[in-house]
Amino acid sequence: MDKDFGELIFKNKLPHKGILLLRLEDAVAEEKLAAIQNIIPRYLEEIKNRFAVYQNGKLRIRNLESI
């Protein structure tokens, strides 16, 4: 999984609208798409301008200032 975007966002302080990191080991594209289609409609307002991690069926959302 490519997580180099984190360096661009956090180290270089590039603008963004929020980050959603999917930790879905061995998941096929359809499973990743299903997770995104479930998360975005339900949690769009909560994840805006925040850092969210989806893993093992759970979504953790943190303010970027605390990272």
- Domain ranges within the chain, ordered by starting residue: 5-66
- What is the C-alpha separation between 9 and 48, in angstroms, rounded? 15
* Residue 46, pLDDT score: 97
pLDDT per position as a tens digit, 2-55? 567 767 777 788 888 999 999 999 999 999 999 999 999 999 999 999 999 999
pLDDT at residue 60, as a whole number: 97
Are 50 and 61 in contact, with CB atoms under 8 Å apart? Answer: yes
Instruction: Quote the pLDDT of residue 51.
Output: 92
> Residue 67: what pLDDT?
64
**Which pLDDT score, from 0 to 100, does residue 43 have?**
98
For the chain, the first-to-last Cα distance in angstroms comes to 21
